[in-house]
Structure 1
């Protein structure tokens, strides 16, 4: 069966590329011929490129990108190398080209990640598979926030959800928001859980000379979370090191590693004494590797990590930010199998239809 994946395969973001890698790997292991649709939204391309001469970049941004080019080059090269494993060929920015890329597919999987978060996608409806004539399955699609739908999300849900063969979301809170538009939506796990620890080990690399550390990874700066991480490191005689996919944040006195791609990110989580983060995928990989996790949710979309903790039977405690994830995967195992079954049966149903 020829299966396409439409997701966020383009960002310099650890979780985005690793969830795409996991979904493609799982589908390939089931005997499908899998391709990642190389769609790269034009505005996102302007944002992520480090080339100051790329088309569409404002003059002020050109100067900024030129100054930062050599600073970011090594790390971005690692992301590009990883992306080359997921797909090849020309990336396209015109969403009207999507139908042509889907023309020979038997099914199109949309997700996972925040493909239905209009704060990222804007008013575009491309991540609802507009124009694709093959059957569509939404897998672990995230709205970003599960508190309320925006006007754009309401419009897209009403117009497009009925046209999907099957729909699943990543956060439990999304069910109540989307249920009025479709009644058979399922909650499933992020695809990074489709690969076990041994399988992820084949993708990981550890930067040389690192041991005895707490890994700090903040997508939203949080002084309280930083304080928790520093305190844990001091109490356990550890150093603290920081990573960031676009090298935007640096805290005084904490070294920021400047050459960390997706492979190195996995290696750093695996070998950390503890992980201090408000990132969904940092939590996911800390579960996979059974880590101590220091966590305060991201204020913009706290339900993403809260929902994942709840799936593992872990209640968020506002007064205690330290979580022992040693047994998290054991708790998640039934949920992971149910999620695989949903995806596999959805594709089998398309084949038989």
Structure 2
């Protein structure tokens, strides 16, 4: 009989990266021979699907994520009252599950203090900040929770520093679970159709940003700029805005692009997986550590541009990425991270 892993993460968010990291971690655990369930945490109830995007995500989760725990959790107390919430192993992560500004009153649950039996592990958990900012009361509580973990890992090196220097807990740096897999053909098929498109997936954007994309498009000799983040109709010369696209179409958009510009961490992860030429243009440089950390580890610092003027003034983005070298480095990080899971899941 297979042992059971329960995963607590942001699987229910309307965010492409969030649902893909949940898919990747659960898939990896299944490949390691475990039965996997996602803890059925409902941040809010969508009794009526209010948008096309919500419908896309609901369908994707139903098709590609493992079964959820039977009883939905709507409030913090539900974690403690559900006697059937049991497993051999509990994994919290990945994503910003330890960002107290996001999880709010749920923070004890995201440090698994409700778990009555089973070994506790964090995989690529993120505090979402470079240094501790929440005061001593939280610090003492969280230190107490983490002392009951079998193993702790974080997605950023700053998280390792916070665990060690603030909480007195040993932690390991691991890669985002999306990077543990190199094949997503079960979702988007094997056939790649490279389109003559410059693809943008950008949260922070402006008219000036799209002016630069048009200039890049002309230099690259591609026919169109496509924006993958559109929630509502938008009309702009030489730019297409497909609205509220599915998770599958988001992945295909990155895979089939001639070039990608993004400020998204998971946008960058999938550029690496699909070996795309890209520019990382952070919306807020002070929150870019997780991407800068990853690209530095892979020798890709030159793909980081601080602003649109730097893109205009420096053509290093035209230099092709040497993915032979990148994949060698990524495979080392991937194997090290997989070994963390295997050792602590006793595979």
Q: TM range, normalised to the smaller chain? A: 0.7 to 0.9
The within-5 A match list for 1:121-160 is 121-125=103-107, 126-133=109-116, 134-151=118-135, 154-160=139-145
Unpaired runs of at least 5, structure 2? none
How many angstroms apart in 2 are the aligned matches of 1:274 and 1:251? Answer: 21
The within-5 A match list for 1:96-245 is 96-99=77-80, 100=82, 103-125=85-107, 126-133=109-116, 134-151=118-135, 154-180=139-165, 181-196=167-182, 199-204=183-188, 211-221=195-205, 226-238=210-222, 239-244=224-229
Give TM-score scaled by structure 1 length.
0.82
Q: 1:56 maps to what in 2?
A: none
Contact 1:172 1:187 in 2 (8 A): yes
Contact 1:293 1:324 in 2 (8 A): no
Contact 1:225 1:295 in 2 (8 A): no
How many angstroms apart in 2 are the aligned matches of 1:50 and 1:102? Answer: 25
Q: 1:268 maps to what in 2?
A: 253
Quote the RMSD (CA, aligned, Å).
2.8
Contact 2:228 2:245 in 1 (8 A): yes
Q: 1:141 to 1:269 in 2, by over 3 A?
A: same
Aligned length, in residue pairs: 321
Which stretch of the first structure deviates more once superposed, 78-87 or 105-114?
78-87
SS in 1 for 2:123: strand
Q: 1:57 maps to what in 2?
A: none
Relative contact order higher in (CA < 8 Å, ≥ 6 apart): 1
Unpaired runs of at least 5, structure 1? 53-68
How many angstroms apart in 1 are the aligned matches of 2:233 and 2:84? Answer: 38
SS in 2 for 1:159: helix
Contact 1:169 1:187 in 2 (8 A): yes
SS in 1 for 2:260: strand
Q: 1:343 maps to what in 2?
A: 341
Shift of 1:271: 0.2
Q: 1:132 to 1:37 in 2, by over 3 A?
A: same
How many angstroms apart in 2 are the aligned matches of 1:21 and 1:104? Answer: 21
Q: 1:334 maps to what in 2?
A: 332
TM-superposition CA deviations, 1:244-288 (whole Å, max 9, x none): 2x7169574432212412111111111001111100000000001
Shift of 1:90: 5.3
Q: 1:250 to 1:279 in 2, by over 3 A?
A: farther
Give TM-score scaled by structure 2 length.
0.83
TM-superposition CA deviations, 1:33-77 (whole Å, max 9, x none): 111111122xxx26xx5949xxxxxxxxxxxxxxxx4xx32x322
